[in-house]
Amino acid sequence: MNFKKILLSEKDIPKKWYNLAADLPKALHPPLGPDGEPIKPEMLSKVFPMNLIEQEVSSKRWIDIPQEILEILYRWRPTPLRRATYLEEYLKTPARIYYKDESVSPAGSHKPNTAVAQAWYNKQFGIKKLTTETGAGQWGSALAFACSLLGLECKVYMVRISFEQKPLRKIMMQVWGAKCIASPSKETNSGREILKKMPDTPGSLGIAISEAVEEAVSDASGETRYSLGSVLNHVLLHQTIIGLEAKLQLKLAGEKKPDIVVGCVGGGSNFAGIAFPFVSDKINGEKIQIIPTEPTACPTMTRGEFLYDFGDASGLTPLLAMFTLGHNFIPAPIHAGGLRYHGLAPLVSAAIVQGLLEPRAYDQIKCYESALLWAKTEGAICAPETSHAIACVIDEAIKAKQEHKEKVILFNYSGHGLMDLTGYEKFLLGKLTDYSLPDDDLQRCLESLRGLPKPKK
Residues that bind its own copies (CB under 8 A): 1, 3-5, 7, 9-11, 74-75, 86, 104, 106, 108, 145, 148-149, 168, 171-172, 174-177, 372, 375-376, 378-381, 418-419, 421-422, 424-425, 428
* Distance between CA atoms of residues 215 and 131, nearest Å: 7
Q: How far is the CB of 2 from its own copies (least distance, A)?
A: 9
Note the Cα 399 to chain centre separation in Å.
27
| 155 beta partners | 131, 179
Which among 266, 155, 275 has a CA at the least distance from the CA of 219? 155
Q: How far is the CB of 314 from its own copies (least distance, A)?
A: 32
Four-CA torsion 203, 336, 243, 357, nearest 10 degrees = -90
Q: For residue 284, what are the contacts with CB-CB under 8 A and spacing of at least 6?
A: none
Beta carbon nearer to its own copies, 330 or 371: 371
* Closest C-alpha among 141, 163, 323 to residue 231: 323
Q: Which is nearer to its own copies, 175 or 198 (CB)?
A: 175
Beta carbon nearer to its own copies, 22 or 175: 175
25 torsion bin: left (phi>0), alpha (psi -120 to 50), beta (else): alpha
Shortest distance, position 340 Cβ to its own copies, whole Å: 22
Helix and strand element counts for the chain (H, E): 18, 15
CB of 33 or CB of 66, closer to its own copies = 66
Question: Given the complex with its own copies, which of 11 and 287 has the nearer CB atom?
Answer: 11
For its own copies, the closer CB: 274 or 381: 381
Rg (CA), the chain: 20
Instruction: In angstroms, give the least distance from the CB of 104 to its own copies.
Output: 6
Nearer to its own copies, 250 or 356 (CB): 250
Q: Smallest distance, Å, CB 101 to its own copies?
A: 9
From CA 403, how far away is CA 422, in angstroms rounded? 38
CB 371, min distance to its own copies, A: 8
What share of residues in the chain are helix, strand, coil (percent, to 5)? 45, 15, 40
In whole angstroms, how close is the CB of 42 to its own copies at the nearest point?
A: 35
Inter-residue contact 367 to 336 (CB < 8 Å)? yes
Nearest distance from C-beta of residue 409 to its own copies, angstroms: 19
Which residues on adjacent β-strands are paired with residue 290? 261
Contact 96, 83 (CB under 8 A): yes
Whichever of 172 and 205 has its CB closer to its own copies, that residue is: 172
Can you tell me whether residue 266 is helix, strand or coil?
coil
Instruction: For the CB of residue 5, give the shortest distance to its own copies in the complex, in Å.
Output: 7
Contacts of 125 (CB under 8 A, 6+ apart): 49, 50, 51, 225
State which residue, 21 or 419, has the beta carbon closest to its own copies: 419
How many Å apart are CA 184 and CA 313, to the nearest integer?
11
